[in-house]
Structure 1
């Protein structure tokens, strides 16, 4: 896979740039660890950099405490330097209130191939989110639903769970990958104008699948 990035140029333009993986520690195991490590390795390969997956796994395990669930944020700098920060697991909510952002994603943006700290559209949409919402949905210029600011979008038209196709312009979510590989959902296009017509869910590897209500 040929990378569109020059690592040395990227380091000069954005010295704080890093690949990110956010994992859940259940108190007994690191949830979906293998999938996270594969995505991290794939991101490093895409950028033409190296990452020590054994060290990454050791750092993650060292940051955990038995029987105490936690949120673990693993970062890998362009130099290959790894860091893990542990924090409390976010409180669970039964149903999220979701709106539609007026910001759009570009399916051709190479940064959508990797999970990294460079996410200006996602961050801006979340920053401008009204306080009554838990999440904002992002679409592309063709009004095709893409992603949430911190979640993947799932929906059901009454014929089973679906998620937008990667070609719409979205990040490679771990929960999405797992559910597709297990046949728990399939790819299907959803236009923003139809968000009120479907049963809506959002989710990620840390929080799992969350039912959502859409408010125009």
Structure 2
């Protein structure tokens, strides 16, 4: 089984107006879609975990014409847990229909980042190739394949215990050479790349390192 890693650019807003509800200070949300399901009536049910609580989130959801129902809670780490039933934009509906049509699987969680949405799709070469070639024109500008590899499931290891933001910081640090010898990037440069403060990057990496060392000890 192959895993296709795809990125949808936030600037193209491929996931429609309901996701504008999760913006914080004008920026796209960070978090995860833990579950996403297309119902037979064409609506979508999803479980969204947000790292930051959008202001007035309940009133935003209640007033939006495409939201059928919702339930919002505050998580222990200060984020938000949103169970949302919504009418999706055509782009989202077409994407989910392609997944179903080509017998593909979405490997959750789907990552929400400041730059867009990162999706891992599972299937064989023919299924994945057929789905990509069938993408509607309205989505091709936003769609970018980041990689194709053999699927390796994440088991109950230390990575599964990290938040999506911690995984994002760790992945960026590793890919940028922060843990190389000699080090290829400074904490200041890493903070710039991640668009956050040096103290925030340091805190995330300390928490990651603490979890890894605790499991090894």
> Shorter chain as normaliser: what TM range?
under 0.3
The structure, 1 or 2, with the larger RCO (C-alpha pairs under 8 Å, 6+ apart) is: 2
Question: TM-score scaled by structure 2?
Answer: 0.27
Structure with greater helix share of residues: 2
Question: TM-score scaled by structure 1?
Answer: 0.27
- Bigger radius of gyration: 2
